[in-house]
């Protein structure tokens, strides 16, 4: 286990905080925000069922949490994590939680998500079960299996598409029983920002990942270009938002999403100023918060359009 000074430096606490870190709560917004936005788009279309919304929200967060646990387990099994590893996880290597407990808990979360998924399918379509299974299998294979997705240059693409575009689409569909190209297009900035969370994680872990044979996007392009890519993707998200507002896909209220720009700028500035894992930790947090603030503000803008409609 890590030393007390290391734990303090990482602001880690015993007890419940150990299990909270295992969930990696800063990443859970990557499941909450898409469900929220997809549902608000459905409300804007005139359809909302609160039980369906809450069920979808819980199922998505359980799948995300389980994916994080598989990440924790397989990074330990493959020797990527040790007691000096920096990150919000570390429940196995620093807190002494048995690996098998983490793995079983992940499968338990998957099991509960499946039960919730049955209800979602009953009120919508059984095709949702197929998509849900694909999402769970991908979540497991992200760090599990013979060739983990997280060890390839495609981790950002898979996470952004499945957790952004797909989850927004499902959240909209189970409310309206329909889907549209507009919903898919509107999901793109959020999908990009979710991918940015993974890219930020890979920038922070670049040196350790390289030593362990990973071929992440950050490793392939190098640290400086990866930071530039992160910045470019964030700018693209905001540029697309402006284009969607002009085109009438999003209401004028969506300009409030630009209030999240300072957090995006903070993430880039911290990455540029730091090269140590601990020094880059706040940049990871700022990247995750960028997605949280942006998505929450987009959802709020849709709610404002519902309450105080302005012609699109």
pLDDT tens-place string over residues 156-167: 999 999 999 999
Give dist(CA 284, CA 226) in Å, integer: 13
Q: How many Cβ atoms sit within 10 Å of the Cβ of residue 242?
A: 14
Q: Specify the pLDDT at position 93.
A: 66
Q: Specify the pLDDT at position 16.
A: 57
The model's confidence at residue 2, banded by pLDDT at 50, 70 and 90, is very low
Residue for token pair 């294979």:
141
Residue for token pair 């979808």:
56
CATH number of 4-306: 1.10.600
Give the start-to-end residue ranges of the domains of the chain: 4-306
pLDDT, the chain, mean: 88
pLDDT tens-digit map of 105-153: 999 999 999 999 999 999 999 999 999 999 999 999 998 888 899 889 9
Q: Specify the pLDDT at position 147.
A: 86
The residue-averaged pLDDT of 64-73 equals: 87
Count the alpha carbons within 13 Å of 13 in the hemisphere toward its beta carbon: 4
DSSP states of 187-234 = THHHHHHHHHHHHHHHHHTHHHHHHTT---HHHHH-HHHHHHHHHHHH
pLDDT tens-digit map of 264-309: 999 999 999 998 888 998 999 899 999 999 999 999 999 999 999 9
**Mean pLDDT lowest among 15-24, 91-100, 206-215, 219-228:** 15-24
Model confidence, pTM? 0.89
């Amino acid at each position: 286990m890590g030393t007390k000074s290391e734990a303090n430096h990482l602001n880690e606490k015993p007890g419940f905080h150990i299990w909270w870190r295992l969930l990696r709560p800063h990443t859970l917004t990557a499941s909450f925000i898409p469900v929220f936005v997809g549902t608000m788009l459905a409300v804007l279309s005139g359809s909302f069922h609160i039980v369906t919304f809450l069920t979808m929200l819980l199922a998505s967060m359980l799948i995300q949490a389980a994916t994080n646990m598989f990440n924790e387990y397989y990074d330990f099994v493959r020797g990527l994590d040790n007691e000096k590893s920096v990150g919000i996880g570390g429940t196995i290597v620093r807190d002494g939680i048995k690996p098998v407990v983490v793995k079983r808990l992940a499968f338990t979360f998957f099991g509960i998500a499946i039960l919730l998924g049955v209800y979602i399918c009953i009120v919508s379509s059984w095709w949702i079960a197929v998509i849900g299974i694909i999402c769970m299998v991908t979540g497991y294979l992200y760090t599990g299996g013979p060739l983990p997705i997280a060890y390839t240059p495609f981790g950002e693409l898979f996470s952004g598409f499945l957790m952004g575009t797909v989850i927004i689409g499902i959240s909209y569909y189970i409310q309206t029983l329909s889907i549209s190209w507009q919903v898919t297009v509107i999901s793109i900035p959020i999908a990009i920002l979710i991918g940015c969370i993974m890219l930020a994680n890979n920038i922070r872990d670049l040196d350790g990942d390289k030593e362990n044979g990973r071929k992440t996007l950050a490793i392939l392009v190098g640290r400086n270009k990866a930071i530039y890519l992160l910045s470019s993707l964030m700018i693209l998200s905001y540029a697309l938002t402006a284009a969607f507002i002009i085109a009438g896909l999003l209401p004028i209220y969506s300009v409030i999403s630009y209030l999240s720009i300072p957090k995006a700028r903070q993430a880039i500035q911290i990455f540029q100023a730091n090269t140590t894992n601990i020094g880059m930790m706040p940049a990871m947090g700022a990247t995750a918060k960028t997605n949280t603030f942006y998505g929450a503000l987009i959802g709020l803008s849709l709610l404002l359009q519902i309450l105080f409609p302005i012609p699109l």
